[in-house]
């Protein structure tokens, strides 16, 4: 299914205005200078990972493909641009027929990346490629930040399931994207029904403290929930007294009670006490779910606790302190003229302050050591060395304007697990450190 066809409220009718004004004013000036048709190559990369992170995670690629397909200037959008006086009539006429007809290559979704990795390469005329800068960056920066946080939390959780519960902590559409990215990064379920509807992510949810407070007694609340959802439900036990609530929960649901949820307090201590109490009551198979402002460090601290699953909200959807990946979209090569066969010339920004870039249309490959573990991210221009030819990372995503790489979300999720497993073991350390692989330029 093409998710771009679903429409509101979890999509938008056009992505054309998800852009900065200067993309359009550059277009107008390029049309006037007769350079708009020069073949150009733009690349997405980041100069550095967020402080202390060992690797990045590519996420949002599927959403980029939807956005590119849906980048259209209809009469309403053109009317807005005309009314504001943003563009002249020749440019508006050009935009009326806009379709991206070029090629896009990129790291497949779920793959890991490092500073300098050419995460996405957009090739076409300057005019058609420059317009996509902002929407591509907004998607990749947000989704990859969430996926990186999710990946770290997944490492910390080990085999224990993770539930994404951050919808109320971010913009309503960002929540859907965040749930998608969390799934790519290793989460198992989401509480957000829009994400479940659009991306077929398994959804979960039972009750909040409000449901308990609605009833005259905690027993009444538990009884109503069990009668409605069955004995396998999850009962929230920290509204009043945890010990009494656990006793009531087992009394109402019996030893077949599915789980109890703890949302406050010293989770390590409370989890141990609740596990002991459940076992003494005969509910030896009842699971313990913890929520309460978790991040990867809190999850890691509970590794020895009798916890069966984690629910994460705020820290996940905000990238666990790093809500963006600082990805940029830079012109790295352009044709010497607008002739179709004009050779490409590398171009690059040269500036102070660490904001320079490397020119040229690049390839990337991950070199393994003698044990098959990755030891370097190799980025080059020109011919790919024979020993790296079979290890290239970029794959075709769009060819001649047609999407060629749409895939199920589970494919990206599985790819990430495999990519992370191929990194040195130190990649999974939560302590601060440098990127686990160096980037070498050829």
Q: Are 64 and 136 in contact (CB under 8 A)?
A: yes
Between these two residues, 281 and 341, which has the higher pLDDT value? 281
Residue 163 lies in a domain: no
**Do 372 and 252 belong together in one domain?**
no
**Do 56 and 195 belong together in one domain?**
no
**Do 207 and 79 belong together in one domain?**
no
Average pLDDT, the chain: 95
Domain boundary among 305, 321, 337: 321
Residue 73 lies in a domain: yes
Q: What is the pLDDT of residue 357?
A: 83
Q: What percent of the chain has pLDDT over 70?
A: 96
* pLDDT tens-place string over residues 295-315: 999 999 999 999 999 999 999
Provide the CATH number for the domain around residue 257: 3.20.20.70
Q: What is the pLDDT of residue 431?
A: 87
Q: What is the pLDDT of residue 68?
A: 97
Asked whether the predicted pLDDT for residue 1 surpasses 60, the reply is: no
**Do 258 and 273 belong together in one domain?**
yes
Closest by CA to 67, choosing from 108, 16, 126, 22, is 16
Q: What is the pLDDT of residue 211?
A: 98
Q: What percent of the chain has pLDDT over 90?
A: 92
Q: What is the pLDDT of residue 210?
A: 98
Closest by CA to 48, choosing from 386, 356, 340, is 356
Q: 339 in helix, strand or coil? A: coil
Domain boundary among 321, 338, 356: 321
**Do 110 and 207 belong together in one domain?**
no
Residue 152 lies in a domain: no
Give the least confident one: 38-52, 288-302, 353-367.
353-367
Residue 47 lies in a domain: yes
Asked whether the predicted pLDDT for residue 352 surpasses 80, the reply is: no
Can you tell me the distance from the alpha carbon of 195 to that of 420, in angstroms, rounded to the nearest whole number? 25
Residue 158 lies in a domain: no
Residue 262 lies in a domain: yes
Handedness of CA 188, 190, 195, 200 (dihedral sign): positive
Mean pLDDT, residues 244-249: 98
Asked whether the predicted pLDDT for residue 12 surpasses 90, the reply is: no
**Do 302 and 342 belong together in one domain?**
no
Between these two residues, 1 and 120, which has the higher pLDDT value? 120
Closest by CA to 261, choosing from 216, 299, 292, is 292
Could you tell me the residue range of the domain that residue 108 belongs to? 3-131+326-441
Q: How many domains does the chain have?
A: 2
Provide the CATH number for the domain around residue 428: 3.20.140.10
Domain boundary among 268, 296, 321: 321
* pLDDT tens-place string over residues 370-384: 999 999 999 999 999
Residue 146 lies in a domain: no
Can you tell me the distance from the alpha carbon of 257 to that of 236, in angstroms, rounded to the nearest whole number? 12
**Do 314 and 190 belong together in one domain?**
yes
* pLDDT tens-place string over residues 107-137: 999 999 999 999 999 999 999 999 999 999 9
- C-alpha pair distances (Å), 153 with each of 193, 238, 367: 22, 24, 27
Per-residue DSSP letter, 34: T
**Do 177 and 315 belong together in one domain?**
yes
Asked whether the predicted pLDDT for residue 2 surpasses 60, the reply is: no
Mean pLDDT, residues 9-13: 56
**Do 284 and 411 belong together in one domain?**
no
**Do 194 and 55 belong together in one domain?**
no
Mean pLDDT, residues 144-148: 98
Residue 136 lies in a domain: no
**Do 312 and 351 belong together in one domain?**
no
Q: What is the pLDDT of residue 63?
A: 97
**Do 352 and 273 belong together in one domain?**
no
């Amino acid at each position: 299914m093409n998710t771009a066809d679903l429409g509101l409220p979890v999509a938008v009718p056009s992505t054309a205005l998800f852009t900065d004004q200067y993309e359009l004013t550059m277009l107008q000036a390029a049309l006037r200078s007769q350079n708009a048709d020069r073949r150009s190559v733009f690349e997405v990369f980041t100069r550095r990972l967020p402080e202390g992170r060992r690797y990045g995670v590519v996420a949002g690629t599927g959403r980029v493909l939807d956005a590119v397909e849906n980048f259209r200037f209809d009469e309403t959008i053109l009317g807005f641009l005309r009314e504001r006086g943003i563009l002249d009539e020749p440019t508006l006429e050009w935009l009326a027929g806009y379709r991206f007809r070029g090629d896009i290559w990129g790291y497949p979704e779920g793959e890991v990346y490092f500073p300098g990795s050419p995460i996405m390469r957009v090739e076409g005329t300057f005019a058609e490629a420059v317009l996509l800068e902002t929407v591509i960056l907004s998607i990749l920066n947000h989704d990859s930040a969430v996926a990186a946080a999710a990946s770290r939390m997944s490492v910390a959780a080990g085999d224990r399931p993770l539930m994404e519960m951050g919808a109320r902590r971010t913009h309503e559409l960002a929540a859907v994207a965040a749930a998608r990215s969390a799934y790519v990064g290793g989460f198992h379920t989401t509480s957000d029904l829009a994400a479940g509807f659009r991306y077929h992510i398994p959804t979960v949810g039972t009750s909040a403290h409000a449901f308990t407070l609605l009833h005259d007694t905690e027993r009444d609340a538990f009884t109503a929930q069990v009668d409605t959802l069955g004995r396998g439900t999850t009962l929230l036990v920290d509204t009043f007294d945890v010990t009494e609530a656990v006793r009531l929960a087992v009394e109402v649901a019996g030893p077949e009670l599915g789980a109890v949820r703890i949302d406050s307090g010293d989770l390590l201590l409370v989890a141990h006490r609740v596990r002991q109490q459940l076992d003494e009551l005969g509910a030896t198979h009842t699971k313990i779910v913890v929520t309460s402002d978790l991040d990867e460090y809190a999850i890691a601290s509970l590794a020895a606790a009798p916890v069966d699953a984690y629910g994460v909200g705020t820290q996940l959807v905000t990238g666990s302190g790093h809500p963006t990946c600082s990805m940029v979209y830079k012109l790295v090569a352009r044709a010497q003229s607008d002739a179709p066969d004009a050779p490409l010339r590398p171009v690059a920004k040269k500036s102070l302050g660490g904001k320079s870039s490397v020119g040229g249309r690049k390839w990337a490959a991950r070199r393994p050591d003698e044990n098959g573990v990755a030891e370097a991210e190799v980025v080059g221009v020109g011919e790919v060395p024979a020993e790296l030819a079979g290890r290239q990372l970029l794959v075709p995503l769009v060819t001649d304007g047609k999407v060629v790489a749409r895939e199920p979300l589970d494919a990206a999720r599985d790819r990430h697990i495999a990519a992370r497993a191929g990194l040195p073991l130190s990649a999974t350390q939560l302590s601060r450190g440098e990127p686990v692989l160096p980037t070498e330029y050829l």
